[in-house]
Amino acid sequence: MSKNIPLNERIIFALDVSSHAEAMDWVKKLDGDIKFFKVGLQLFLAGWFPTIEAIIARGNKVMVDLKFFDIPETVRLAVDQLKNRGVTFVTVHGNDPILKAATQDKNGLKILAITVLTSFGENDMKEMGMTGSVGDLVLLRAKKAFELGCDGVVASGLEADKIREELGDNFLVVTPGIRPGANIEDENDDQTRIATAKEAFISGADHVVIGRPIRNSSDPVALIKKLQEEIKEGLSIK
């Protein structure tokens, strides 16, 4: 797997907005500096495939983050709907048969397995009756995804280093829950397992998914440039 990733594709901007028009406003504002965008549930339901096509038509890449979770055949057919549309990443969230079904006929798509959502913490593990740590669960799911033919995983920056140690570099690690250093302890944040962009890349991330910090910034482009400098620093240390 080639890892010659341009700096302007390292940040995947999360287009968590409510309309096609708002999404395209952000794409036009930012795609001089970043070339990778995430379309999640909210935007996909609002804009469907025309939004994805419009983003790609401007020379950008798209991560379709719908976290497919259903019986294996339904997941296989859902992935099939994304083929030949220019999509780069698609996320799947499930057990071994689900992941295996998703990878049967990728046809150029890269399948990313969700490990554990970054809003999920150690207390949640206890409430579900699990005795291990979140890190243990992430690593177990990452190993399974690798064995089943997934191209990578979505995992927090706190677990990326363990995934790299176990699985090496021939596997993608995409990291959400990224916060600028000054805002790392925001008490209103619904993400539990967070890291800075620099920390994520030191730990072995290939891409980081960032939404609200950029959207809420008074100068989104300036923040992107600052984050890209952090990423370069992290990559040089890695």
Predicted confidence (pLDDT) per residue in 36-59, tens digit: 999 999 999 998 999 999 999 999
The mean pLDDT value for 60-86 works out to 94
The values of phi and psi at residue 20, to 5°, are: -60, -45
Domains delineated in the chain: 7-237 (3.20.20.70)
- Averaged pLDDT of the chain: 87
The C-alpha atoms of residue 198 and residue 36 are separated, in whole angstroms, by 18
pLDDT at 183: 45
User: Do 166 and 139 contact (CB within 8 A), yes or no?
Assistant: yes
Name the active-site residue from 3, 38, 67, 198.
67
pLDDT at 190: 45
Please tell me the pTM assigned to this model.
0.87
Burial class (CB in 10 A: 0-12, 13-18, 19+), 9: middle
- Residue 2 pLDDT > 50, yes or no? no
pLDDT at 4: 87
The mean pLDDT value for 4-31 works out to 96
User: Do 154 and 134 contact (CB within 8 A), yes or no?
Assistant: no
The C-alpha atoms of residue 97 and residue 9 are separated, in whole angstroms, by 31
Query: Quick check: is 238 catalytic?
Result: no
User: Do 157 and 175 contact (CB within 8 A), yes or no?
Assistant: yes
More reliable by pLDDT, 97 or 126:
97
pLDDT band for position 160 (50/70/90)? confident
More reliable by pLDDT, 1 or 179:
179
